Structure 1
């Protein structure tokens, strides 16, 4: 039986922070082409702050909603750039999706994941095709939901989500940026992967790996 509680979610933030730290230089390089070359730094600051704040909680006495809200607040306090409000909203929406639960089943975990993606989309007022992290998050959330609805395990649903995110990020190469600082470049943004979409793949990959390791079986 799949069961994910606050200790497992804390480990998830450990995994995301480690993955972002390892990918920071690549993300900054991607951002250097169409932005301010600081995306990797901002993401590292945010996820390190979220990891540290969550680690300081009494996990036995903290439910997933409180943990995710703590992560949201700490991320926002650490990152003033656009990714701050986006990921803070993601975690707050994820928190709301699992309110009242102390343990998350597979359906709960997918609902949390989908709520995070919707939060990013709503906060950024972005749509598919505008060369943002939504181009990775939205396909991932849709794929995860469809896979779970078809009876796939949480592990398989998250694997499908990661593959969709990877395809979505790669597709941003062929898009003209319509949001954020990179939109000033117009057609010069063509041919480059959006750094926000690239970091979304890193985040989703770390989430999938961490949550999968917390699953005793293939439920």
Structure 2
């Protein structure tokens, strides 16, 4: 991935989050506070704006800037989590020749460290973990499908982390909003990886 592709990915994420903001908000309202879509839209719009005036030679620089912007602009847990993911991904890509799969793994590791979540906890990690593995094995299209399937697989789970965990058994039957936005991020990646 080069800097232009990284910019295109962030722009594609912003467009997808805007398109799906109401859906993300509805998912979050069922098991959280309902602001996931609004917060992510604000954050990725801010990232696109920040990148418009940011001079970057590498994808790593673009993604690090994206992460820093998300941390400062997105409320709730998703800002620090996605911000940490993008910063770790960016820092793992010192050049355009660095392994993007390794960068995605660094991003996953950053989220796990910060959120202390594991697969099965009904969080974004349920979509991110299989997506990262699928990317390493088969590329962006497989990663997008794995993230989508991982998000859908959160529906029967009982939340063990985050605000949804306070609902106990009432958290079952709902798709996790963070896993859903993770699936959007990987779908956007597949759309710009030609």
For residue 167 of structure 1, the aligned residue among 100, 125, 149 is 149
- List 4+ stretches of structure 1 deviating above 3 A: none
Using the alignment, how far apart are the partners of 2:145 and 2:5 within structure 1?
A: 23
Whether contact under 8 Å (1:139, 1:165) holds in the other structure is yes
Tell me the equivalent position of 1:136: 127
Higher relative contact order (CA 8 A, sep 6+): 1
The answer to whether the aligner puts 1:113 opposite 2:110 as a matched pair is no
The answer to whether the aligner puts 1:71 opposite 2:66 as a matched pair is yes
Whether contact under 8 Å (1:118, 1:138) holds in the other structure is no
Q: Residue by residue, what CA displacement relative to the aligned partner does 1:70-111 show, whole Å, maximum 9, x if unpaired?
A: 111111110131001101110111122112x1x247xx2222
Tell me the equivalent position of 1:199: 181
Q: Residue by residue, what CA displacement relative to the aligned partner does 1:121-160 show, whole Å, maximum 9, x if unpaired?
A: 222110000000000000111122223xxxxxxxxx1111
Tell me the equivalent position of 1:84: 79
Partner SS for 1:36? coil
**Normalised TM-score (structure 1):** 0.84
**Normalised TM-score (structure 2):** 0.94
For residue 124 of structure 1, the aligned residue among 115, 122, 126 is 115
For residue 37 of structure 1, the aligned residue among 27, 34, 39 is 34
The alpha carbon displacement at 1:23 in A equals: 0.5
The alpha carbon displacement at 1:199 in A equals: 0.8
- The structure whose Rg is larger is 1
Q: Root-mean-square deviation (CA), in Å?
A: 1.4
In the alignment, structure 1 segments of 5+ residues that lack a partner are: 148-156, 214-219
In the alignment, structure 2 segments of 5+ residues that lack a partner are: none
Whether contact under 8 Å (1:170, 1:193) holds in the other structure is yes
The answer to whether the aligner puts 1:177 opposite 2:159 as a matched pair is yes
